């Protein structure tokens, strides 16, 4: 053995002795890394040049104007009070003002790379995570980002943040400063392998310019963040303008090359999608994400499209399709019986709605993870899935367990007699009887409920559904409200039925607790709009979070999907197979798309 090897072993032994004598545990297999993946290894190695879906040579300058539906009354996106403005921290649209310790890669299922933190470290069991901040990280006012800001942000959001954030951050037992730039989070248990990544995405707030006393109040004051943009102008409820910070500390980082290319980004607010689209046609808006198949099919016939000044882009996406549906609030007695819920699911006539409203361009959504390997539909349960579900007899239907269940197809008439008959049989089993033109329950009261609607597009689909329900004597009234009232009523579950869109990823995790867990069902402001409180659901989410391999993770996700499908908590609607965007040709984009599809934060103004 040469001298250098002996010296190396001595150094390791000395470090071990110091750690043991000081009472600190020695992390087995932990080492500082440039990134962290939920499962497996990061795609991009240390020292990578740029993300493949970004163009590091993209020109900088110009302005991007985006249209946004609704209104806003707050520049605080971290609390449930008020309606927050767009653009502060919006995923693929850009982390414009508020940044986190780590940044997401849109080329992978769930992998994060160092942003404010230059390294992340966690042991194999993920019982803790440690971040070391970059020495050059600064807030927009020039103040360095310090460990105290990380500790402040965690405490503030844990106590006063949104319910899903409080739920996740409460899993931390303690937080310690490590040296001059390090912060270590120690967890109460090692049962949630996603937690290091969740904390990596925590927005870092400035302790020097924010107080806990004022944090949980709505505000229109321009915030201080560490991101590439600052708020330049606010027209409450109508418009917000962001201006690029020329002194942005992170502009030369590899994961920022090709991003944040506009000198100015502006969001203009519109009350309805028709007015927004007309503004796009005039050139007042630079780009638009399209979700209306009818408009995509026939609405883009104006001259600017014909002569190439407006470009229509279709982006394939490797993500599960967003789940769109009419959610049934099981907190209300009318939906307590699963047979009533199943009957209502059967009565949605997709074969009528698709050609009538969507030009045949949409597909029926069968799963909560539609279009991905996480979907349970069409697949028999694996042995691991069966083992997870075994303690919960009856939680999953037999045809859902063996993968043969599919949503019923109709003759497309809007009142298929076979489906009406099957739904009526389920309702009879639940104690309902058809008396004349009304369906009445055991107490003599009609089967009646209200649908809360927020947009005209949702109203069109609801009207078609209403006509089918009326054919069976079910009374569904529609209540269309403005965006503020819609948001307020959803936060307090003040509805019988309402429309919902749950976005999905290839790595579902703690957000599933916020959507489906028993704890979320009891907390205002959660996304558990259905009021699901089922031990089987809770157990499947726990298995999802504890999975230590991709294979175990996929099985847990499919098992969760089977329980939710079997519970008939929502009337599944439909989805577009691809992402649709339209842009004026003055706006350019990289040629290489991401796994997730479009990433507008990499787009740019052409010279």
How many CB atoms within 10 Å of residue 15?
A: 11
Nearby residues of 16 by Cβ (< 8 Å), 6 or more positions away: 26
Question: Would you say 377 and 403 are in contact if contact means Cβ atoms under 8 Å apart?
Answer: yes
What tens digit of pLDDT does each residue of 8-63 get?
A: 333 333 333 333 333 344 444 689 999 999 999 999 999 999 999 999 999 999 99
Instruction: Please give the C-alpha separations between residue 417 and each of 136, 319, 412, 422, in angstroms, as whole numbers.
Output: 68, 36, 11, 9
Specify whether the CB–CB gap between 400 and 566 falls below 8 A: yes
Contacts of 429 (CB under 8 A, 6+ apart): 339
Q: Which of 80-84, 118-122, 397-401 has the lowest mean pLDDT?
A: 80-84
The sign one gets for the Cα dihedral 597, 598, 601, 603 is positive
> b/e string for 259-288 if b means 16 or more Cβ within 10 A?
bbbbbbbbbbbbeebeebbebbbeeebbbb
Minimal CA–CA distance to 126: which of 208, 39, 61, 53? Answer: 39
For residue 336, is pLDDT > 80? Answer: yes
Strand, coil or helix: what is 566?
Answer: helix
Structure tokens at 244: 């690029």
pLDDT in tens, 496-530: 999 999 998 999 999 999 999 999 999 888 999 99
Quick one: average pLDDT of 315-331?
95
Written as six digits, the tokens of 559 are: 């098992």
What Å distances lie between residue 137 and 133, 141, 142, 212, CA to CA?
Answer: 7, 12, 9, 23
CA 122 to mean position of chain CA atoms: 25
Contacts of 282 (CB under 8 A, 6+ apart): none
Phi, psi of 14 (to 5 degrees): -65, -40
Residues pairing with 184 in the sheet: 130, 176
Backbone φ and ψ of 480, nearest 5°: -95, 125
> From its phi and psi, is residue 414 left (phi > 0), alpha (psi between -120 and 50) or beta?
left
Cα distance between residue 522 and residue 539, in whole Å? 17
Beta-carbon contacts of residue 6 (< 8 Å; ≥ 6 apart): none
pLDDT of residue 157: 96
Which pair of tokens denotes residue 491?
Answer: 């936060």
* 353: helix, strand or coil: helix
CB atoms within 10 A of CB 239: 16
With a threshold of 0.85, does the pTM exceed it? no
**What pLDDT, on a 0 to 100 scale, did the predictor assign at position 33?**
97
What pLDDT is recorded for position 21? Answer: 34
| pLDDT at residue 437, rounded to an integer | 87
Domain coordinates in residue numbering, the chain:
323-575
Closest CA to 104 of 170, 32, 202, 185: 202
- Count of beta carbons in the 10 Å neighbourhood of residue 299: 16
446, burial (CB in 10 Å: exposed 0-12, middle 13-18, buried 19+): middle
Q: Which contiguous run of DSSP H or E holds residue 519?
A: helix 518-521
Give the separation between CA 514 and CA 518, rounded to whole angstroms: 9
Query: Which secondary structure element, helix H or strand E, spans residue 8, and what is its range?
Result: helix 3-21
Instruction: State how far the alpha carbon of 522 is from the alpha carbons of 232, 331, 452, in Å.
Output: 39, 10, 20
For residue 427, give the DSSP letter.
H
Model confidence at 333: pLDDT above 70: yes
Phi-psi region of 269 (alpha: psi -120 to 50; beta: other; left: phi over 0): beta
Lowest model confidence (mean pLDDT) among 83-97, 164-178, 248-262, 439-453: 83-97
pLDDT at 25: 43
Angle between helices 535-546 and 550-567 (to 10 degrees): 160
Non-local CB neighbours of 498 within 8 Å, separated by 6+ positions: 326, 327, 329, 451, 452, 453, 454, 489, 490, 529
pLDDT of residue 8: 37
pLDDT of 29: 61
Taking CA 473 as the corner, what is the angle to CA 469 and CA 478, rounded to the nearest 5 degrees? 50
Query: 163 CB contacts (<8 Å, ≥6 apart)?
Result: 80, 514, 520, 523, 524, 525, 526
pLDDT score at 532: 98
Q: Which residue has the tokens 């107080």?
A: 211
Q: What percent of the chain has pLDDT over 90?
A: 85
pLDDT score of 6 more than 70: no
Supply 574's token pair: 């439909």
Query: Contact at 8 Å (CB) between 292 and 273?
Result: yes
- The secondary structure element, H or E, covering residue 21 is helix 3-21
304-308, 438-442, 584-588: least confident range: 438-442
pLDDT of 257 over the 90 cut? yes
Could you tell me if 478 and 460 are in contact, meaning their C-beta atoms sit under 8 angstroms apart? Answer: no
* Mean pLDDT value across the chain: 92
CATH topology of domain 323-575: Dipeptide-binding Protein; domain 3 (3.10.105)
DSSP letter (8 states) at residue 25: P
Two tokens, residue 183: 């912060």
Residues in CB range of 152: below 8 A, 6 or more apart = 205, 207, 210
Close Cβ partners of 456 (under 8 Å, ≥ 6 residues apart): 272, 273, 274, 480
Q: Return the closest-CA partner of residue 246 out of 347, 379, 140.
A: 140
pLDDT at residue number 524: 87
Beta-strand (E) ranges in 52-207? 63-69, 102-104, 111-114, 117-121, 128-133, 172-178, 182-187
Question: Do 472 and 419 contact (CB within 8 A), yes or no?
Answer: no
261-282 average pLDDT score = 95
**Torsion over CA of 358, 363, 369 and 373, rounded to 10 degrees?**
-150
- The beta strand positions in 291-437, using DSSP E, are 310-315, 323-328, 363-364, 433-435
């Amino acid at each position: 053995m040469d001298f250098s090897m002996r010296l190396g072993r001595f150094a390791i032994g000395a470090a071990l002795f110091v750690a043991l004598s000081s009472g600190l545990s020695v992390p087995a297999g932990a080492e500082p890394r440039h990134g962290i993946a939920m499962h497996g290894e990061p795609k991009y190695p240390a020292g990578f040049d740029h993300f493949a879906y970004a163009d590091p040579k993209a020109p900088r300058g110009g302005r991007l104007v985006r249209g946004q539906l609704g209104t806003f009354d707050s520049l605080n996106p971290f609390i449930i009070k008020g309606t927050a403005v767009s653009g502060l921290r919006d995923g693929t649209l850009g982390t414009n003002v508020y940044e986190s310790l780590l940044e997401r890669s849109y080329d992978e299922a769930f992998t994060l790379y160092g942003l404010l933190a230059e390294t992340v470290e966690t042991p194999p069991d993920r019982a803790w995570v440690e971040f070391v901040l970059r020495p050059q990280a600064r807030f927009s006012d020039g103040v360095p980002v310090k460990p105290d800001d990380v500790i402040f942000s965690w405490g503030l959001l844990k106590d006063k943040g949104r319910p899903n954030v409080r739920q996740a951050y409460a899993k931390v037992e303690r937080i310690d400063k490590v040296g001059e730039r390090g912060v270590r989070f120690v967890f109460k248990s090692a049962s949630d392998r996603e937690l290091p990544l969740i904390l990596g995405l925590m927005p870092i707030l400035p302790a020097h310019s924010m107080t806990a006393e004022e944090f949980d109040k709505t505000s229109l004051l321009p915030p201080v963040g560490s991101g590439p943009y600052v708020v330049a102008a606010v027209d409450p409820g109508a418009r917000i303008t962001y201006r690029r910070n020329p002194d942005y500390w992170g502009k030369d980082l590899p994961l920022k090359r090709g991003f944040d290319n506009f000198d100015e980004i502006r969001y203009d607010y519109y009350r309805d999608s028709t007015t927004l689209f007309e503004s796009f046609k005039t050139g007042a808006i630079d780009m638009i994400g399209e979700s209306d198949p009818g408009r995509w099919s026939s609405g883009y016939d104006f001259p600017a499209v014909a002569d190439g000044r407006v470009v229509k882009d279709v982006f394939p996406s490797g993500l599960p399709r967003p789940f769109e549906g009419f959610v049934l609030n099981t907190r209300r007695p009318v939906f307590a019986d699963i047979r009533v819920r199943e009957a209502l699911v059967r009565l949605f006539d997709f074969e009528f709605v698709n050609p009538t409203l969507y030009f045949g361009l949409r597909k029926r959504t069968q799963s909560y993870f539609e279009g991905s390997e996480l979907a349970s539909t069409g697949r028999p349960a694996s042995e691991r899935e069966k083992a997870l579900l075994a303690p919960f007899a009856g939680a999953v239907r037999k045809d859902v367990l063996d993968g043969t269940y599919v949503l019923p197809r109709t003759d497309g008439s809007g009142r298929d007699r076979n489906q009406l008959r099957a739904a009526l049989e389920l309702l009879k089993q639940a104690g309902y009887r058809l008396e004349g033109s009304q369906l009445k329950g055991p107490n003599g009261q009609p089967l009646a409920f209200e649908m809360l609607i927020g947009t005209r597009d949702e109203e069109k689909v609801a009207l078609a559904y209403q006509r089918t329900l009326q054919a069976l004597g079910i009374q569904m009234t529609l209540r269309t409200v403005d965006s503020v009232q819609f948001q307020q009523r959803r936060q307090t579950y003040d509805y019988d039925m309402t429309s919902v869109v749950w976005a999905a990823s290839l790595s579902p995790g703690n957000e599933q607790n916020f959507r489906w867990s028993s704890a979320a069902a009891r907390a205002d402001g959660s996304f558990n709009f259905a009021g699901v409180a089922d031990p089987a659901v809770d157990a499947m989410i726990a298995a999802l979070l504890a999975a230590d391999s991709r294979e175990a993770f996929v099985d847990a996700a499919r098992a969760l999907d089977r329980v939710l499908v079997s519970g008939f908590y929502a009337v599944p609607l439909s989805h577009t197979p691809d992402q649709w965007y339209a842009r004026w040709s003055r706006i350019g984009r990289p040629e290489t798309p991401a796994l997730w599809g479009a990433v507008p934060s990499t787009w740019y103004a052409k010279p």
